[in-house]
Amino acid sequence: MQPTKVTERIKAKALELLEQYPEGLRYSELHGKILATDGSFKPNTINGCIWNLDATYPEKVYKPSKGLFRLLKDKPTEIEVLTPSPATTVTTSKVKEEDFYAPFADWLKNEIEDVTHAIPLGGNKFKDKWGTPDVIGKRESMRSDIIKGPTEIVSAEIKTETFQLVTAFGQACAYKLFSHKVYLVVPRQSQTEEISRLDSLCQIFGIGLVTFDAESPATPDFRIRVRPVRHEPDLFYTNRNMALIEKELFP
């Protein structure tokens, strides 16, 4: 079989698969499905055919976010983009957001060891319109450490409602005022393109991005997509806020 005919078949199969998935397919998903349809296709040949599929077929394919291919005919209208789907609302309202505070505090301390102590917070503990983190922790040097560093404050904003991701990002940015590191924790059930945008924004602003299963407080399966960048907060606000939770965070 001539190589040109192989590439044509691969591209045709890619379009056929996108037809079956109106929500779109990520590069790895599309690559895997094409390979599964015909074992004679070479992985590198598939890669060469689909990596710029949107540029090859600009009248048919577009990328709503990095690495995601979708047919133009399946592109949502402006009204559809701005209106949260009923399914999303139902999914995110089943479990209370507070149910994830303690599990994330535990994960932050014991799983990734980014803090030495963490507590669920939430509510209006800081009595500030700029908001109170859902989880806050500290990282202190251990007595056994030969090289000791300064105390770090780590804050996290957790959202179970997928239609409040923009609000959640804004709150996470505000926490940088008094925190050395900040995490934004969002449902894995969120739209792929929304998570992709948050991924890019979090890299730009140095905020950590974590996804989780918003339907399972018992096994949330927290996963890091972007690690936070340490920075120096305004110590005036750090000390003012820490004074309000000194007994809980600094026992």
Give the pLDDT confidence of 184-201 residue by residue, as tens digits. Answer: 999 999 998 899 999 999
pLDDT at 34 over 50: yes
What percentage of the chain exceeds 90 in pLDDT?
71
d(CA 71, CA 51): 15
Q: What pLDDT does 77 receive?
A: 67
Q: What pLDDT does 249 receive?
A: 94
Q: Which residue type sits at 228?
A: P
d(CA 110, CA 90): 32
Q: What pLDDT does 75 receive?
A: 85
Nearest to 14 by CA among 3, 32, 23: 32
Calculate mean pLDDT across residues 131-150: 91
Question: For residues 209 and 196, is the Cβ–Cβ distance under 8 A?
Answer: no
- What structural domains and CATH numbers belong to the chain? 3-75 (1.10.10), 92-249 (3.40.91)
Nearest to 96 by CA among 155, 157, 158: 158
Of the pLDDT bands very low, low, confident and very high (cuts 50, 70, 90), residue 1 is very low
Q: Range with the lowest mean pLDDT among 1-10, 106-115, 163-172, 239-248?
A: 1-10
pLDDT at 133 over 70: yes
Q: What pLDDT does 4 receive?
A: 59
Over the chain, what is the mean pLDDT?
A: 89
Of the pLDDT bands very low, low, confident and very high (cuts 50, 70, 90), residue 65 is confident
Calculate mean pLDDT across residues 89-114: 82
Calculate mean pLDDT across residues 33-40: 92
pTM listed for this prediction: 0.72
Query: 228-243, pLDDT tens digit by residue?
Result: 999 999 999 999 999 9
Calculate mean pLDDT across residues 200-219: 95
Exposure string for 151-183, b = 16+ CB within 10 A, e = fewer: ebbbbbbbbbbbbbbeebbebbbbbbbbbbbbb
